[in-house]
Amino acid sequence: MAVIRDVMPAFQLFQPTSVADAQRLLEQHGREGLVLAGGLDSVDWLKDRIKKPSAVVDLSGIAELKGIRTTNDGIEIGAMTTLTEVVNNPMVQQKYGLLTQAAELVASPQIRNQGTLGGNVSQDARCWYYRAGWPCYRAGGNICYADTPVGRNREHAILQAERCVAVNPSDSAPALIALDAKFVLRTSKGERTVDAEDYFIGPDIDITRMTILQPGDLLTSIRIPSTWAGAQFYFEKVRVRNVWDFPLLNVASAMLLSGDRIERVRIAVNGAAARPLRLKAVEDAVRGQSRNAATGEMAGKLAVQGAVPLQFNGYKIPLMRNLVKRAIGGVQEAAWAS
């Protein structure tokens, strides 16, 4: 009789009902534990038998991780709130529409119904080799299969690559950075809050992780301050298939104008590096300038300074230049126009 091997490796499933219990379980299991949110990324790894945790901690029964509430200074979104709930929330739509636009462009309705905001910002790299279980740098090996003359690297990084050239694939992440969101973590030492941009890390910090979360840590919520409520927002995503697909690149910006003068601005891109990049040099350069095509042009050129293409992703440099150009200059034209 044939032996059927196509099953997930066995693990213990825990379904805590409080953050405290979830954090304790994760701490207890350390590197052997895996957080399960919507399961769209995490279950893939289990089904492909590449990640083999001994314990899976399912957060779906923890009510305190769900929902969107007002705070003294803005709103707080529980990590287990689905992307659909984020998209449909009137408060988010009215004041922080940048996040609505970004979340609405994630994948398909079914994926947004199941996928959570916490999972979306914590998802792992989407490099073909890594996800197929090849023993590359990110998987603990000593080679990058994507960064070779024949490697499949159309989706990969043009900035800040160090050994690993995979990118962060989240659409909501740059919007949250532009909105100056704060991520609330629960660790063994208690609660801790970090700026959105500091939640994400590149291979220079730790090549095996995409975020600052260590084994045992949980993301519990995301707070958006009122600083940028009702600002002028711009979100644009370019993908291969418009029906649903990960971003090749995206850009998110929040801007406050006085007449046509840019008073304050925050801008971030994703799909360009292993972590979403806040473009501080661009922000500094355009502050006080008129919002027009020339300022957009200057911003676009500045954004791609230092970009290094791989064999098959050279298109990302003009693409990023044009996305930033339009986010800053407000010019409406196709992203791939040079």
Ligand X SMILES: Cc1cc2nc3c(=O)[nH]c(=O)nc-3n(C[C@H](O)[C@H](O)[C@H](O)COP(=O)(O)OP(=O)(O)OC[C@H]3O[C@@H](n4cnc5c(N)ncnc54)[C@H](O)[C@@H]3O)c2cc1C
Does 127 participate in binding ligand X (rule CB under 6 A)? Answer: no
Site string for ligand X, 190-219 (x = CB under 6 A): -----------------------x----xx
Query: Contact at 8 Å (CB) between 37 and 31?
Result: no
In the range 74-93, which residues lie near ligand X by CB under 6 A?
79
Does 23 participate in binding ligand X (rule CB under 6 A)? Answer: no
**C-alpha–C-alpha distance, residues 52 and 54, integer Å:** 7
Q: Where are the alpha helices (DSSP H) in the chain?
A: 19-29, 42-47, 83-88, 90-95, 97-104, 109-114, 117-122, 128-131, 172-178, 196-199, 280-286, 293-303, 316-329
Q: Under rule CB under 6 A, how many of the chain's residues touch ligand X?
A: 31
Q: Which stretch binds ligand X (CB under 6 A): 134-142, 167-175, 260-268, 328-336?
A: 167-175
**C-alpha–C-alpha distance, residues 81 and 88, integer Å:** 11
In the range 148-187, which residues lie near ligand SF4 by CB under 6 A?
164-166
User: Closer to ligand SF4 at the Cβ: 11 or 134?
Assistant: 134
In the range 122-141, which residues lie near ligand SF4 by CB under 6 A?
125, 127, 129-130, 136-138
Query: Contact at 8 Å (CB) between 246 and 169?
Result: yes
Does 120 participate in binding ligand X (rule CB under 6 A)? Answer: yes
Does 119 participate in binding ligand X (rule CB under 6 A)? Answer: yes
CA Rg, the chain, in Å? 20
Helix, strand and coil content of the chain, in percent to the nearest 5, comes to 30, 20, 45
Out of ligand SF4, ligand X, none, what residue 180 binds, judged by CB under 5 to 8 A for its kind, is none
Closest CB 158 distance from ligand X, rounded Å:
19
Calculate the alpha carbon distances from 333 to 234, 293, 296, 326, 338 in Å: 14, 11, 12, 8, 10
Residue found by looking up tokens 């925050």 in the block = 266
Which residues bind to ligand SF4, rule: CB under 6 A? Answer: 125, 127, 129-130, 136-138, 144-147, 164-166
Q: Please report, as ranges, the residues that interact with ligand X according to CB under 6 A.
A: 34-42, 59, 79, 106-107, 111, 115-116, 118-120, 122-124, 169-171, 213, 218-219, 244-246
